[in-house]
Copies of this chain bind each other. A is one copy, B any other.
């Protein structure tokens, strides 16, 4: 049998095969039956969720960054790196509508790394975690030729919000045809900020500083996720890999398709000023927005819009969930003139290069 390499099967296929071993294979899984019986959400969502008691749910997520892939030591601002590493994990808790409580940090580094860099990294992590009331309580330090950071965040679901037996969380698999699709804040700013930072070798015109800031120090939508849950929303996730890529995940998990109305996308006027027509492309495919993406019936979304508006945050309806259409890509774009268009990039997938089409 010829040997098959990871790049040939890609991340989604790999995760599916791993999940089969972890969740379905033989004796090991049978032994863990009690633990699995309390599991509400397993592999394939922003975080795993399990029931502690009738009204209490714990959630946990983990995420890693490696030098040379996710950052470069030469140009890294260590404080920002720590901030972003923690933000991406806490954003996964936000994407489940949860409350972050505790974090564990693994740091891998060579003995040559400067101590001040590591401590700046820690300050960035601590400041972001503290902003949301999460305590960093443990971890591991290991020797590693490449610098790496792996973070685990534990959180809990908001209590007393069970509706008709549905746990008070946002999950990817709960979208239904007819649901409206909405996003918090504005899209594409982080990707735009990154482009400007790269073009200016780390410097950005003062005018466009907010875009660079969106890239360097994203602020996860923690309270907003909880408000979505309170309004009754049950389908959602955080936007880390771009709207099209992440909405594709919701479609796959829910067995539905989605129509996105391109002219409704919330785009920062600064992004339009800096990128013109390309702003829409960044809003559709740019990663690391750390906004929330959700789907719910119109009346629930209206309620959610009201709650978020009171908290000073926009929740913008950008499309509709429709029946699965196997003939088309799971996510279709609807232009202002009513023309349907297939997206050309589907967001980041590890191991393989990005495909040209979101067809699955």
Contact = CB atoms under 8 A, between A and B. Distances in A.
* Size category of the binding interface on chain A: 35 or more
Interface string A1-44: 00111111101001101100111010111111011100100110
A152 B115 contact: no
Contacts of A110: 6
Interface in A142-160: 142-146, 148, 150, 152, 154
Contact of A141 (B14, B22, B36): B14
Interface string A99-140: 001101111111111111011001101110111111111111
A50 B141 contact: no
A25 B123 contact: yes
A350 B107 CA distance: 11
A112 B7 contact: yes
Given A115-B17, A133-B34, A138 B69 contact: no
Given A36-B135, A152-B60, A69 B102 contact: no
Contacts of A152: 60, 62, 104, 152
A107 to B, nearest CB: 8
Contact of A111 (B6, B48, B122, B148): B6
Contacts of A32: 129-130, 133-135
A127 B32 CA distance: 10
Nearest to A101: B35
Contacts of A64: 106, 108, 140, 142, 144, 148, 150
Given A42-B137, A148-B66, A6 B112 contact: yes
Nearest to A59: B138
B62 A144 contact: no
A139 B27 CA distance: 21
A299 interface: no
Interface in A47-65: 47-48, 50, 52, 56, 58, 60-65
Contacts of A47: 138
A114 B7 CA distance: 9
Contacts of A113: 5-6
Interface in A338-360: 350-352
Contact of A138 (B60, B106, B115, B116): B60
Interface of A: 3-9, 11, 14-15, 17-18, 21-23, 25, 27-32, 34-36, 39, 42-43, 45, 47-48, 50, 52, 56, 58, 60-66, 68-70, 101-102, 104-116, 118-119, 122-123, 125-127, 129-146, 148, 150, 152, 154, 350-352
